[in-house]
Amino acid sequence: MKKILAGVDIGNSSTEVAIASVEGDHAEFLSQHLVKTTGIKGTIDNVKGIRRALQEAAKKAGIELKDIDLIRLNDAVPVIGDLAMDLISETIITESSMIGHNPDTPGGAGLGVGVTILINELFEVEEKDQDYIAVIPKSFDYEWVAQRLNQAESKGISITGAIVQKDDGVLIHNRLNKKIPIVDEVALIEKVPLLKLAAVEVALPGHVIRTLSNPYGLSTVFQLDPDQTIQIALVAKALVGNRSAVVIRTPQGEVVERKIEAGRIILIGTNNQQLEVSINDGAEAIMNTYEKLEMLDTLADVRGETGTNVGGMFNGLRHDLAELTGQLSNEITISDFLAVDAVIPTSISGAMAGELSMESGVALASMVKTDKVPVQRVASLLEKEIGIAVEVGGVEAEMAICGALTTPGTRKPIVILDMGGGSTDAAMMNKAGKITSSHLAGAGDMVTMLINSELALGDKELAEKIKKYPLGKVLSLFHMQLEDGTMLFSETPFPPYTFGKVVIREEQDLTPLSSKVSMEKIREIRRSAKRRVFVTNALRALKRVIPTGNLKHLSFVAMVGGSALDFEIPQMLTEELGKYGIVAGFANIRGTEGPRNAVATGLVLSSVRIGHEVLK
């Protein structure tokens, strides 16, 4: 008797369906489909997505929806994750003592030291033997400014540099008889202190400044004593890597790098073990403390010190999760978390030209165990809506392994690493078929968050695209440079809006990025975000499922889940796990599906109990 079976896997970000025709203990897979999960995993909002996926899969299989005899739903693991991020350092410039932005086109090159003076007061100066730095607000035209500077020079007034509000640096420089370094695009020029000793430095294109970014260069320019040199050292540090800079000597002026007291994380074990760690110590210290606790005890909950940033972060998480699960927020206990260092471009307070500094921050992903997610409700609603029998199948990890075992070349014992959007899960099946599993916070969504904030995109969808696809730089309408340096030539012209831009190379489209950040920098941020989340979590997850806790005792790992489809994550992990002598690769479900559809396939197969012998 032939039966048509459908396996449905509701994940955090996608819902997958597999349809198979089952006869006796043989299953023949007809089709599969994937849609975005509608609503939160495990809630009745999912039904809409499931129906659409089933309809599409049925159409692909050439059958009617009503031909399906039984739908098997996964028993979603009742864990839900959430993300938060906060800054732990900030930079402040006091008394407008420094301009360290990078205008596209400063004028001239070299170092000029002198007293700041407004351009229109230039001829009224008293001391003729003094050097001056001209300060030029935007109301003055470049032609007039250049003429004025030339006149001053012929009158014997020595001008050694200029600070300009408009983007006029090169225009002025081209018209000068005596060339001086010019820093332009200083938006808040009215804040520049006048009649103070200042230094202007501009480097040639492709070079960086050398004097003002060196504490001893500054001490030479301003004749500072050792104590003052220590005070000004941070100014030099802030200017490292710039093409142009201005430093103005004011009595109290300095650059302060302040640590924001972000508070402490309190880890609570089941036996009332308590460990504390300060957020300011960084992600590594936090995760080490977590590991220490795990050695003594198991994690029961995590709290943030009340009244601090981290307290706010954890309260926010608790609140979000409480809303999702319908529990009270004090009943929510955090079962796992992952802390990752992040570098976040932030505007400097007190800056005159909109400078950014790369401040450090910590991103947290956390996960809570909730009461059983009401999958049963989803099942009964689905049954009512489409009139087909629905049953809730086995444990997710078991189903995933069952599906993963259809990969050619695998056998028990096997370890799988399921990398999805919200969580990284590992499961191990030993020779006897006994399964252990672990669920950890932090996966694809966290990578997206890191990319979004480290590139200051403010656009989650764009960050998601950057995560998923490789980059290119369109050099002409017919060729582009790819990430690895090779050139791609095209028969048909690229769209005009991509001309000269760094683009995301989606399968069909090119999405131009408007940020000025170079392709190399974006690639580096993307790869480091993936490494920080997935490599860390893969190691953590695997350690938990191995009975000995030693990675060297593992030999085979199959990666499944959406993030295993990524164009570089599997390679990163293969490389990293290779260090432990582990053969790792992404699974190929049923020999055709790649790392997708493991759970849905497992759901179908587990009902006929035929292991991994699949009829094609």
User: Which distant-in-sequence residues (6+ apart) come within 8 Å of 14 by Cβ?
Assistant: 34, 35, 36, 37, 421, 562
Reported residue count of the chain is 616
Q: Could you tell me the CA-to-CA distances from 616 to 31, 402, 550 in Å, in that order?
A: 11, 17, 38
x-marked contacts with other proteins along 418-457 as a string, rule CB under 8 A? ----------------------------------------
Instruction: For other proteins, give the closer residue by CB, 141 or 301.
Output: 141
Contact stretch for other proteins (CB under 8 A) within 67-75, 343-351, 498-506, 550-558: 498-506
Structure tokens at 497: 């809006």
Q: State the residue for tokens 């001056």.
A: 132
- Of 252, 508, 514, 548, the residue at the interface with other proteins (CB under 8 A) is 514
Scanning residues 458 to 487, which ones bind other proteins (CB under 8 A)? 473, 475-478
Scanning residues 101 to 160, which ones bind other proteins (CB under 8 A)? 104-105, 139-144
Q: Please tell me whether residue 493 binds other proteins under the rule CB under 8 A.
A: yes
CA separation for the pair 314, 335 (Å, rounded): 13
Instruction: For other proteins, give the closer residue by CB, 455 or 600.
Output: 455
CA separation for the pair 17, 11 (Å, rounded): 11
Instruction: For other proteins, give the closer residue by CB, 501 or 612.
Output: 501
Instruction: For other proteins, give the closer residue by CB, 53 or 502.
Output: 502
Instruction: For other proteins, give the closer residue by CB, 145 or 245.
Output: 145
- Of 293, 368, 502, 587, the residue at the interface with other proteins (CB under 8 A) is 502
Contact stretch for other proteins (CB under 8 A) within 40-48, 165-173, 230-238, 434-442: 165-173
Q: How far is the CB of 407 from other proteins (least distance, A)?
A: 43
- Output DSSP code: residue 352: S
Instruction: For other proteins, give the closer residue by CB, 169 or 263.
Output: 169
Instruction: For other proteins, give the closer residue by CB, 107 or 570.
Output: 107
Instruction: For other proteins, give the closer residue by CB, 78 or 512.
Output: 512
Instruction: For other proteins, give the closer residue by CB, 221 or 503.
Output: 503
Q: Please tell me whether residue 516 binds other proteins under the rule CB under 8 A.
A: yes
Structure tokens at 183: 């820093």
Find out whether 497 and 514 touch, Cβ atoms under 8 Å: no
Instruction: For other proteins, give the closer residue by CB, 433 or 500.
Output: 500
Find out whether 18 and 61 touch, Cβ atoms under 8 Å: no
x-marked contacts with other proteins along 50-89 as a string, rule CB under 8 A? ----------------------------------------
CA separation for the pair 223, 232 (Å, rounded): 12
Instruction: For other proteins, give the closer residue by CB, 69 or 167.
Output: 167
- Of 458, 485, 496, 547, the residue at the interface with other proteins (CB under 8 A) is 496
Q: How far is the CB of 170 from other proteins (least distance, A)?
A: 5
Instruction: For other proteins, give the closer residue by CB, 222 or 499.
Output: 499
Query: 214 burial class (0-12, 13-18, 19+ CB within 10 angstroms)?
Result: middle
User: Which distant-in-sequence residues (6+ apart) come within 8 Å of 158 by Cβ?
Assistant: 114, 129, 130, 131, 132
DSSP sequence for 447-507: HHHHHHHHTT---HHHHHHHHHS-EEEE-SSSEEEETTS-EEE-SSPPPGGGTT-EEEE-S
Query: According to DSSP H, which parts of 302-368 are helical?
Result: 309-325
- Output DSSP code: residue 241: T
Q: How far is the CB of 149 from other proteins (least distance, A)?
A: 13
- Half-sphere exposure in the Cβ direction for 51 (13 Å, CA): 14
DSSP sequence for 75-133: E--SEEEEEEEEE-EEEEE-TT-EE----S--BS-EEEEEEEEEGGGGGG-S-TTSEEE
Q: How far is the CB of 113 from other proteins (least distance, A)?
A: 25
- Half-sphere exposure in the Cβ direction for 585 (13 Å, CA): 9
Structure tokens at 23: 């006869």
Q: How far is the CB of 42 from other proteins (least distance, A)?
A: 43
- Of 170, 381, 395, 565, the residue at the interface with other proteins (CB under 8 A) is 170
Instruction: For other proteins, give the closer residue by CB, 143 or 613.
Output: 143
Contact stretch for other proteins (CB under 8 A) within 20-28, 163-171, 308-316, 554-562: 163-171
Q: State the residue for tokens 């500054």.
A: 218
DSSP 3-state assignment of 351? coil
Q: How far is the CB of 467 from other proteins (least distance, A)?
A: 21
Query: According to DSSP H, which parts of 297-417 are helical?
Result: 309-325, 375-386, 396-404
CA separation for the pair 216, 200 (Å, rounded): 16
Contact stretch for other proteins (CB under 8 A) within 162-170, 331-339, 445-453, 540-548: 162-170
CA separation for the pair 401, 541 (Å, rounded): 15
Q: How far is the CB of 141 from other proteins (least distance, A)?
A: 5
Find out whether 85 and 364 touch, Cβ atoms under 8 Å: yes
Q: How far is the CB of 497 from other proteins (least distance, A)?
A: 8
Q: How far is the CB of 245 from other proteins (least distance, A)?
A: 20
Q: Please tell me whether residue 490 binds other proteins under the rule CB under 8 A.
A: no
- Of 168, 201, 336, 454, the residue at the interface with other proteins (CB under 8 A) is 168
Instruction: For other proteins, give the closer residue by CB, 95 or 141.
Output: 141
Quickly count: other Cβ atoms within 10 Å of residue 273's Cβ: 15
x-marked contacts with other proteins along 386-415 as a string, rule CB under 8 A? ------------------------------
Q: How far is the CB of 123 from other proteins (least distance, A)?
A: 13
Task: Please compute Rg for the chain using Cα positions.
Answer: 31
- Of 100, 169, 421, 444, the residue at the interface with other proteins (CB under 8 A) is 169
Instruction: For other proteins, give the closer residue by CB, 88 or 117.
Output: 117
Q: Give the binding-site size for other proteins (rule: CB under 8 A).
A: 28
Give me the residues that bind other proteins (CB under 8 A), please.
Answer: 104-105, 139-144, 167-171, 174, 473, 475-478, 493, 496-497, 499-502, 514, 516
